[in-house]
Structure formats: C-alpha cells, structure tokens
Amino acid sequence: MNTDAPLLTPDDCALVLVDHQAGLAFGVSSSDRQAIRSNAVAIARTAKAFKLPVVISTSASKVYSGPLMPQIQAVLPDNQAIERRNMNLWEDDAVRAAILATERRTLIFSGLLTEACVSFPVLSALAEGYRVFVVGDACGGLTEVGHQFALRRMETAGATLTSWLQVLLEFQRDWTRHESYEDARSIVVDHGGGYGIGLAYARDMIHPT
C-alpha cells in the first residue's frame, strides 16, 4: 500500500467508463442495479463538474449489450462511446489511444462487469505504471463473490478502491470552493442518499439569524 500517494486532484485524472450498458446490467447481481446506475451517473456528473477528460467504451452494442445507458449519455452528450470487440479495452487500439491522448497518469475506472471488462484494463494500466482508482460502487459483477474477488485482485495489484462520493469530496475538498460548489452539491443531493437529504435540508430549512 502506498501511504505517500497524494489526494486526487481533477488536473491529474481521467475517467474511463466501461460497458455501462443495459444488456450487461441484466446479468449483474452483486448489488442493486439501479443503485449502480445512479452511482455511475454520479461519477459521470462529477467528471463533468470538475472538467475531467472522459473516455467511454462499449462492446457488443448492436448484438447483445445495447447502447450506453441513456442516463449517462445525457450527462456527457458530447462524449461518444468507442465500440470494441476485446474484453480488455487496453488491447483495443482506438480506446487505448483515446486514454493516452488525455495525457493523464491517474485513471478512474467504473463499469460492467467487474470480473472482466473492468478488471482486465485496470490490471493492464497498472502494469504500464498508471495510478488507478476503481469506483467500486459504480461497478457491477455477475455475483457478489465474483465482484469482491475481482476488486480484491485489482487492489492486490496496486489499484485503489474508492466510491463515487469519495472521489467527489476529494475533488471538492472545501465547500467554500465556489466555482464547483453548486455542481458538487447538486450531485450529492441527487445521488448521495441521507447525506444528500441533509444538504438539501440545510439549504431549504435552516436560516441563520
């Protein structure tokens, strides 16, 4: 474990979204599918709010998996998914070139399925010296055991496991940062469960005298 690694900053990071497609989500049983989709939308909104480059890849979209989930595409309307055949997007020339073009050495991954299309490129990126974070609550596996084993393998190889909320808070870090405050706050309100309810309450109901 690298205890000297700095906190994430937006200028260092790129987001990689892998196969967030309904046909693959049908097979997910590691956790609630709607929660995974909500968390994936949240990390996509976080990337947009903090101006991260985003690389999106899909597979078998015409024959099985379907297109990128429309809720994610709506957040990133100008980002077109790169279709590929490989399970490992790192072995696809177009996707790898898009990642290299970001010139970011810290990659944040989210996607389906954890056991293959997430873990394979994460392991490949680590082997090439990238600093890699995996948004575990925005990934889904075929089974809970398979999902956890895949996360454990990536972590053992050097990836850092995180959540979408931790990424957002790590980027924001100070609620007096006005340039990103409204975007960050709205993401937490929409996707942050009880914490989001609390933020909404604080604005709507508490009026300092």
Residue type, 61: S
Pairing between β-strand 131-135 and β-strand 106-111 as defined by DSSP bridges: parallel
Residue 178, both tokens: 């006005």
> How far is 152 from 92, CA to CA, in rounded Å?
25
3-state secondary structure of 160: strand
Length of the chain equals: 209
The active-site residue out of 24, 52, 98, 117 is 117
Nearest to 21 by CA among 76, 58, 71: 58
Peptide bond into 112 cis (omega under 30): no
**Residue 117 catalytic?**
yes
3-state secondary structure of 81: coil
| 3-state SS record for 44-68 | HHHHHHCCCCEEEEEECCCCCCCCE
Q: What are phi and psi of 162, to 5 degrees?
A: -150, -175
**Residues with active-site annotation:** 117
